[in-house]
């Protein structure tokens, strides 16, 4: 059984110790960082930089607290994420969303090179075979995985497993393309798009959201650049008419996420990775989408653990106790109190991620929740 330290979001007294940044400082003391990180050791702080429009990422003030705590024990932290859009553009987005060297107190770098081609193939498992792990994540000896917990149209629930499964893997590999990158999870099989002309409203949202300019509608036909496309699935996710789909398999997708997370973690020695899950601004979709919806669940708090399975299970158990927020997508979908909000939003078997991660030996679903 692993320890998961938890601090609730509610503020009971008007003093700094009761603030969320103050509580995060307490959590970081509680986990005893010197047990994991050494003096002068480089430590990657893996987070998501957001997108042009999706602003509900982990706020820079929290990243700063993690940086300061690591610096206080002599470690050398830096902030990183992989290419979602081309690296220089993505660093601009990070800056726009408040994550830069000045705000967080540490360098902000891309983990897989400015073109997303800098990665190393690592053994994953039966579904994926091998997968392209960002070279910086591969090389760095230690990591703090800071995950914004939220919903996700494909994953149902997105926490620490998805953060490293998708976020520490490149979009594609220099030689074997999308099948060695995130696309191998997003689509099982050949990754062929199905465009239904009858359903298409020619709104061009799929064209606008594509980070690689793969799509155009010349002559009112769906034309796309198959070679260039890394099957990130954004185009299918934004389509309001269900006119654009990619064949997938929910069960294999969930299990492949855990396989990819396992591949990433296999590049670290034991006790070199800790996890911080932020159950705040819990919106229904991923931080890579072109907009952030209002939260569907009230802020719950922050969790920290060295067990990825335990922290995911504890996060889900806390989410299951919450009621849907009024005036949110959860209310639109008529989700009632006592129901599984994220499951009802996306109808995805997200618990498979956690079950598979436990089966692969990444941690335990049995945990002790310690309120700090
Ligand atoms: S999956 Fe869609 S959005 Fe992503 S790269 Fe391919 S065409 Fe572009
Ligand atoms: S987003 Fe969907 S409806 Fe809009 S143009 Fe693309 S395929 Fe057609």
Q: Cα of 248 to ligand 1 centre, how many Å?
A: 15
- The ligand that comes nearest to the alpha carbon of residue 193 is 1
Tell me the CA–centroid distance for residue 241 and ligand 1, in Å: 17
Whether 235 is in the pocket of ligand 1, judged by its Cβ within 6 Å, is yes
For the cut 80, the answer to whether the pLDDT of residue 333 exceeds it is: yes
Residues 6+ apart with CB under 8 A from 79: 45, 47, 63, 67, 94, 99, 104, 106, 107, 108, 109
The rounded radius of gyration (Å) of the Cα atoms in the chain is 20
Kindly give the distance from the C-alpha atom of residue 288 to the centroid of ligand 1, in angstroms, as a whole number. Answer: 13
**Pocket of ligand 1 contains residue 127 by CB under 6 Å:** no
In DSSP notation, 261-286 reads: HHHHHTTS-TT-EEEEEEE-SB-SS-
Asked whether the predicted pLDDT for residue 57 surpasses 90, the reply is yes
Which structural domains are found in the chain, ordered by start?
Answer: 2-183+249-371 (3.40.50), 192-245 (3.30.70.20)
Å from CA of 204 to ligand 2 middle: 5
- Residue 183 pLDDT > 90: no
Beta-sheet pairing, 150-152 with 142-148: unpaired
Instruction: Compute the average pLDDT of residues 40-55.
Output: 96
Residue whose CA is at the smallest distance from ligand 2 atom 6: 206
Q: What is the mean pLDDT of residues 323-331?
A: 96
**Is 87 close to ligand 1, i.e. is its CB under 6 Å away?**
no
How many A from CA of 212 to the centre of ligand 1?
7
Q: Whose CA is nearest to atom 4 of ligand 2?
A: 203
Residue bearing the bigger pLDDT, 227 or 74? 74
Whether 28 shows a pLDDT value over 90: the answer reads: yes
Q: Could you tell me the pTM of the whole model?
A: 0.95
Mean pLDDT of the chain: 95
Q: How far is the CA of 163 from the centre of ligand 1 (A)?
A: 20
Residue 153: per-residue pLDDT? 86
Atom 4 (ligand 1): residue with closest C-alpha? 232
**C-alpha of residue 215 to centroid of ligand 2, in Å:** 10
* pLDDT-above-90 percentage for the chain: 87
Averaged pLDDT, 26-38: 98
> Which span out of 183-187, 208-212, 245-249, 254-258 was modeled with the highest average pLDDT?
254-258
Q: Which of 291, 287, 289, 300 is nearest to 341 (CA)?
A: 300
| Cβ proximity of 79 and 177 under 8 Å | no
Position 247 scores a pLDDT of: 82
Phi, psi of 257 (to 5 degrees): -60, -45
Counting from 1 in the atom list of ligand 2, the atom nearest the Cα of 202 is: 5
Q: How far apart are CA 59 and CA 330, in angstroms?
A: 24
Which residues have CB under 6 Å of ligand 2? Answer: 200-206, 238-239, 241, 243-244
Question: pLDDT tens digits, residue range 122-175?
Answer: 999 999 999 999 999 999 999 999 999 999 988 999 999 999 999 999 998 999
């Amino acid at each position: 059984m692993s320890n998961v330290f938890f601090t609730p979001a509610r503020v009971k007294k008007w003093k700094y110790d009761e603030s969320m940044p103050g509580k995060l400082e307490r959590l970081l003391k509680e986990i005893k960082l010197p047990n994991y990180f050494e003096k002068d050791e480089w430590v990657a702080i893996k987070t998501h930089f957001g997108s042009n429009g999706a602003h509900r990422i982990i706020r820079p003030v929290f990243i700063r607290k993690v940086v300061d705590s690591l610096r206080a024990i002599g470690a050398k932290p830096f902030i990183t994420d992989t290419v979602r859009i081309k690296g220089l553009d993505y660093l601009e987005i990070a800056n726009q969303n408040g994550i830069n060297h000045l705000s967080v107190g540490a360098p902000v770098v891309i983990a897989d090179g400015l073109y997303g081609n800098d990665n190393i193939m690592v053994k994953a498992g039966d579904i994926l075979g091998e997968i392209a792990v960002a070279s910086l994540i591969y090389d760095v000896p230690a990591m703090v995985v800071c995950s914004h917990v939220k919903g996700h149209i494909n994953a149902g629930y997105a926490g620490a497993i998805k953060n490293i499964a998708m976020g520490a893997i490149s979009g594609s590999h220099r030689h074997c393309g999308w099948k060695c990158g995130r696309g191998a999870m997003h689509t099982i099989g050949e990754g062929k798009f199905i465009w239904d002309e009858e359903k298409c409203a020619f709104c061009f949202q799929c064209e606008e959201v594509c980070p690689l300019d793969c799509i155009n509608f010349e002559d009112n036909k769906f034309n796309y650049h198959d070679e260039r496309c890394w099957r990130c699935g954004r185009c299918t996710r934004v389509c309001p008419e269900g006119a654009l789909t990619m064949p997938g398999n929910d069960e294999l997708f969930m299990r492949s996420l855990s396989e990819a997370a396992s591949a990433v973690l296999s590049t670290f020695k034991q006790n070199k990775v800790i996890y911080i899950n932020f159950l705040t601004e819990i919106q229904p979709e991923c931080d890579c989408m072109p907009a952030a919806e209002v939260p569907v669940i009230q802020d719950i708090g922050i969790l920290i653990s060295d067990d990825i399975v335990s922290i995911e299970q504890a996060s889900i158990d806390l989410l299951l106790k919450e009621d849907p927020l009024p005036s949110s997508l959860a209310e639109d979908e008529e989700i009632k109190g006592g129901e599984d909000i994220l499951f009802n939003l996306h109808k995805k078997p997200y618990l498979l991620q956690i079950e598979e991660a436990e089966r692969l030996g990444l941690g335990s679903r049995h945990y002790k929740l310690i309120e700090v």
